[in-house]
């Protein structure tokens, strides 16, 4: 049984919102907080009980909110602090939670702290960032090019692990730790229930080992944020480059008072050789990683964040399943593989209607800083068509197109001009169409989440894998007391599946199966209770 501190979190079902692209309430083409409020009933009906909002604070939007210029104020385009208060109240009224995105590694260079810091070496903010006379190492920005930029006013170089306008904070300075604690406390006062923490591994640097992250003081800093009395009961999920279970335990073991769980990213490489290069792959590779993390987290009294998509990735179904003729089957099969495991489900906006990657014929249809810089880089060594194909495949904009609500003007996202071109398949894939279809991804998610909350086996129940690594399908069980459930998820080929026990008729299936045993069509799945002996 999972330790008491974390057990309650297994009841959370989180929906991730990219506010800019979710719902526009005032016709300026940009999603906003009032737009989110308008859709709360849609989300509640889906069965989610928590929202994670990508950053909503003041920002010049070079990296869409991950470049924060004021942590204590709402981005003008998203609304006002009164709108945020209204959103929090509307959520809590519905017994839903709010998870804020905390960005502690860097601020926008437009932030007052940076503006002060660059003025010289003798002001109170002078050591808030990493300043050097000479470039001290060859660290690269995640968006290409050197991570060091010269600032003429200060006459020194500063570190930016991401865009030039995202300066890394110097956590070695106790005033920075204090400032970020104040940010956390401000949002706790506002009533938020948890945080998703951006690139948490990077807040402690290791200059000696030439490592921009996982530095010697990482755990001390995390503890300084979340080990304090007022923060201990929050749900905290760190975005991190952690790759193994021992490292995860150093962040998440309950007694450490650091983080509740982590986003671990190894399964993001399924179906690709690198972010912009496809690799032939199937659901097998995902299954193997899911199994490994289920077994290891269970052994270490931890729980994983269950996710396949987020705002930085092209949808998983487009990489390792069929996003064309069998799109419905693929989307629902993947959901059954993932969300009946032990952990906290994270559903990225659009996943619940089976959204896929998009396609465009021009780089002008893209907005993302990473994509545009990557495109320019590719064009140095390959023809533009090839470069564009890579961007279409891997661009973060695949996940950032306006949510398609219906088949009306601008897919019901805005009455104005959307800030970024609509999803190329929005006529075919939108919420209204999905909900009125005979086979609806949304209704499958709804049924799945209902089942998940109705039976303790899906929460803290033991996980066992029945299929073997060679099988072209995934079969697992979840057991709690004398109740066992089996989840059968077929992959891309037709298969005969025999189960080693008798089962009741499936409580959930994507193609209306009447028995858990038997022949499965491609991407067919079923969930059934095992008959008691």
Contact positions vs ligand TEU (CB under 6 A): 63, 66, 103, 142, 162, 198-199, 239, 275, 311-312, 370, 396
Residue list 21-40, contact with Ca ion (CB under 5 A): 24, 26, 28, 30, 32
Burial 175-205 (b: 16+ CB within 10 A, else e): ebbebbbebbeebbeeebbbbbbbbbbbbbb
3-state secondary structure 11-63: HCCEEEECHHHCCCCCCCCCCCHHHHHHCHHHHHHHCCCEEEECCCEECCCCC
Cβ closer to ligand TEU: 25 or 166? 166
Residue list 140-169, contact with Ca ion (CB under 5 A): none
What is the Cα 282 distance to its own chain's centre?
21
Active site residue 239: yes
396 binds, among ligand TEU, Ca ion, none (CB under 5 to 8 A by kind): ligand TEU
162 binds, among ligand TEU, Ca ion, none (CB under 5 to 8 A by kind): ligand TEU
Residue 478: partners with Cβ closer than 8 Å, 6 or more residues away: 340, 341, 342, 457, 458, 461, 462, 463, 484, 485, 487
Active site residue 274: no
How far apart are CB 106 and ligand TEU at their closest, in Å? 7
Q: Of 115, 29, 31, 23, which Cα lies nearest the Cα of 65?
A: 31
Regarding 173 and contact with Ca ion (CB under 5 A), the answer is no
26 binds, among ligand TEU, Ca ion, none (CB under 5 to 8 A by kind): Ca ion
Residue list 30-89, contact with Ca ion (CB under 5 A): 30, 32
Closest residue to Ca ion, based on beta-carbon distance = 32
Considering the candidates 193, 239, 397, 434, report the single residue annotated as catalytic.
239
- The residue whose two tokens read 């804020």 is 100
Altogether, the residues listed in the chain come to a count of: 533
How far apart are CB 178 and ligand TEU at their closest, in Å? 22
200 binds, among ligand TEU, Ca ion, none (CB under 5 to 8 A by kind): none
198 binds, among ligand TEU, Ca ion, none (CB under 5 to 8 A by kind): ligand TEU
How far apart are CB 402 and Ca ion at their closest, in Å? 11
How far apart are CB 25 and Ca ion at their closest, in Å? 6
How far apart are CB 312 and ligand TEU at their closest, in Å? 4
Q: How many chain residues interact with Ca ion (CB under 5 A)? A: 5
How far apart are CB 112 and ligand TEU at their closest, in Å? 19
Rounded Cα gap, residues 41 and 92, in angstroms = 13
Residue 127: partners with Cβ closer than 8 Å, 6 or more residues away: 117, 170, 173, 175
The HSE-up count of residue 173 (CA atoms within 13 Å, CB side) is 18
How far apart are CB 237 and ligand TEU at their closest, in Å? 12
479 binds, among ligand TEU, Ca ion, none (CB under 5 to 8 A by kind): none
Considering the candidates 63, 101, 193, 198, report the single residue annotated as catalytic.
198
Radius of gyration, CA atoms only, the chain: 23
- Helix H or strand E segment including 236: strand 235-239
Of 20-28, 62-70, 180-188, 477-485, the window that binds Ca ion (rule: CB under 5 A) is 20-28
435-442: which pairs have CB atoms within 8 A and are 24 or more residues apart? 437/328, 439/328, 439/510, 440/328, 441/328, 441/331, 441/332, 441/335, 441/352, 441/353, 441/354, 442/46, 442/352, 442/353
Rounded Cα gap, residues 417 and 116, in angstroms = 37
Cβ closer to Ca ion: 30 or 358? 30
32 binds, among ligand TEU, Ca ion, none (CB under 5 to 8 A by kind): Ca ion
Point out the residues that are catalytic. Answer: 198, 239
> Which residues of this protein are in contact with Ca ion, per CB under 5 A?
24, 26, 28, 30, 32
């Amino acid at each position: 049984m999972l330790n008491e501190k974390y057990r309650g979190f297994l009841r959370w079902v989180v929906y991730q919102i990219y506010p800019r692209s979710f719902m526009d309430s005032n016709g300026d083409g940009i999603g906003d907080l009032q737009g989110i409020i308008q859709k709360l009933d849609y989300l509640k009906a889906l069965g989610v009980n928590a929202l994670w909002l990508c950053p909503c604070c003041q920002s010049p939007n070079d990296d869409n909110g991950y470049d924060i210029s004021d942590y204590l104020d709402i981005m003008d385009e998203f609304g006002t602090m009164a709108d945020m208060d209204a959103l929090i109240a509307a959520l809590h009224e519905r017994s839903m939670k709010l998870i804020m995105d905390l960005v502690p590694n860097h601020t926008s260079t437009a932030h007052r702290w940076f503006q002060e810091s660059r003025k010289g070496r003798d002001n109170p903010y002078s050591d808030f960032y990493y300043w050097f006379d000479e470039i001290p190492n060859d660290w690269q920005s995640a968006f290409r090019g050197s991570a060091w930029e010269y600032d003429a006013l200060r006459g020194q170089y500063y570190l930016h692990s991401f865009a030039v306008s995202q300066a890394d904070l110097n956590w070695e300075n106790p005033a920075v730790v204090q400032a970020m604690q104040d940010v956390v406390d401000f949002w706790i006062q506002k009533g938020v229930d948890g945080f998703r923490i951006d690139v948490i591994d990077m807040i402690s640097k290791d200059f000696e080992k030439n490592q921009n992250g996982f530095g010697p003081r990482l755990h001390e800093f995390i503890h300084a944020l979340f080990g304090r009395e007022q923060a201990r009961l929050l749900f905290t999920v760190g975005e991190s480059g952690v790759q193994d279970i021992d490292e995860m335990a150093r962040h998440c073991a309950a007694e450490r008072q650091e983080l509740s769980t982590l986003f671990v990213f190894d399964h993001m490489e399924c179906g690709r050789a690198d972010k912009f290069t496809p690799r032939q792959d199937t659901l097998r590779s995902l299954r193997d990683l899911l199994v490994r993390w289920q077994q290891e987290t269970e052994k270490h009294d931890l729980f994983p964040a269950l996710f396949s998509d987020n705002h930085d990735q092209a949808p998983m179904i487009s990489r390792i399943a069929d996003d064309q003729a069998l799109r419905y089957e693929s989307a629902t099969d993947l959901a059954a593989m993932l969300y009946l495991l032990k952990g906290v489900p994270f559903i990225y906006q659009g996943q619940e209607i089976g959204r896929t990657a998009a396609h465009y014929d021009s780089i002008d249809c893209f907005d993302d800083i990473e994509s545009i810089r990557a495109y320019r880089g590719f064009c140095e060594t390959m023809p533009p068509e090839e470069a564009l194909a890579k961007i279409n495949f891997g661009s973060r904009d695949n996940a950032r197109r306006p949510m398609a609500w219906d088949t009306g003007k601008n897919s019901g996202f805005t009455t104005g001009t959307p800030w970024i071109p609509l999803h190329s398949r929005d006529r075919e894939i939108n919420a209204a169409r999905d909900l009125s279809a005979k086979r609806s991804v949304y209704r499958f998610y709804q049924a799945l989440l209902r089942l998940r909350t109705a039976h303790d086996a899906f929460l803290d129940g033991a996980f066992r894998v029945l299929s073997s690594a060679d099988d072209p399908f995934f079969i697992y069980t979840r057991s709690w007391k004398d109740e066992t459930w089996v989840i059968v998820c077929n992959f891309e080929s037709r298969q005969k599946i025999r189960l080693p026990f008798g089962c009741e008729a499936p409580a959930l299936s994507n193609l209306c199966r009447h028995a858990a045993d038997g022949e499965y069509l491609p991407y067919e799945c079923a969930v059934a209770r095992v008959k008691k002996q």
